[in-house]
Amino acid sequence: MNLIDRIKGILMDPRSEWPKIAAEPATVQSLYTSWIMILAAIGPLALLLSMHSIQIAISQYVLALILTFVLALIVDALAPSFGGTKDFVASLKLTAYSYTIAWLAGIFALLGILGSVLSLVASIYAFYTFYLGAPVLNKASAEKAVPFTLVIVLCGIVLGVLAGLVFSGMMMTPRVTPGMGLLMRP
């Protein structure tokens, strides 16, 4: 399936799109090169246009690629606890395709505060798409899909906070101040 049709399917009818996604053969590499690396670039490119900082854009992009992988590891590890099965590629599919709307909403970085509100709404929809996909891709039981989704959302929030700390640390540069020793500055 091509990129545009898949995006439309995830956004407009995720319930019927998940079985199609589950049936398609994939590898970690194919998911990264045909989906994750493309969509995860939208927000960093918008940041680059709005802030004119290549360092911030690259950092955000690399963090998005890493966080997607780490969250998929968490999804895979927790799936059996919610009646699901371990299958890393299925967990990566679930994570990557659930992130679709959030990645697309990265363009809203161009809108400032309003963009943040729109991105929040997109994130809530991403949680919903995850909830719909969990029973299909990870075989989580339908009655445990809500708690599974909530646990993964909490893990995602924790990962986001940790990534924010890493990101803010990356933006600081060391400087030596006479009489003060080594200091960090933004």
Residues 125-174: pLDDT tens digits?
Answer: 999 999 999 999 999 989 999 999 999 999 999 999 998 888 777 665 55
Q: Does residue 178 belong to any structural domain of this protein?
A: no
For a pLDDT cut of 90, what percent of the chain falls above it?
78
pLDDT, tens digit, 9 for 90 and up, residues 4-53: 999 999 999 999 999 999 999 999 999 999 999 999 999 999 999 998 88
Q: Does residue 142 belong to any structural domain of this protein?
A: yes
Q: Does residue 153 belong to any structural domain of this protein?
A: yes
User: How far is Cα 54 from Cα 105, in angstroms, rounded to an integer?
Assistant: 20
The domain containing residue 57 runs over which residues? 3-171
User: How far is Cα 143 from Cα 20, in angstroms, rounded to an integer?
Assistant: 22
Q: Does residue 184 belong to any structural domain of this protein?
A: no
Q: Does residue 101 belong to any structural domain of this protein?
A: yes
What is the per-residue pLDDT for 147? 97
C-alpha radius of gyration, the chain, whole number: 18
Q: Does residue 154 belong to any structural domain of this protein?
A: yes
Give residue for tokens 């955000």.
60
What is the per-residue pLDDT for 172? 58
pLDDT, tens digit, 9 for 90 and up, residues 94-106: 999 999 999 999 9
Number of domains into which the chain is organized: 1
Residue 41 φ then ψ, to 5°: -80, -15
Q: Does residue 185 belong to any structural domain of this protein?
A: no
Residue 141 φ then ψ, to 5°: -65, 145
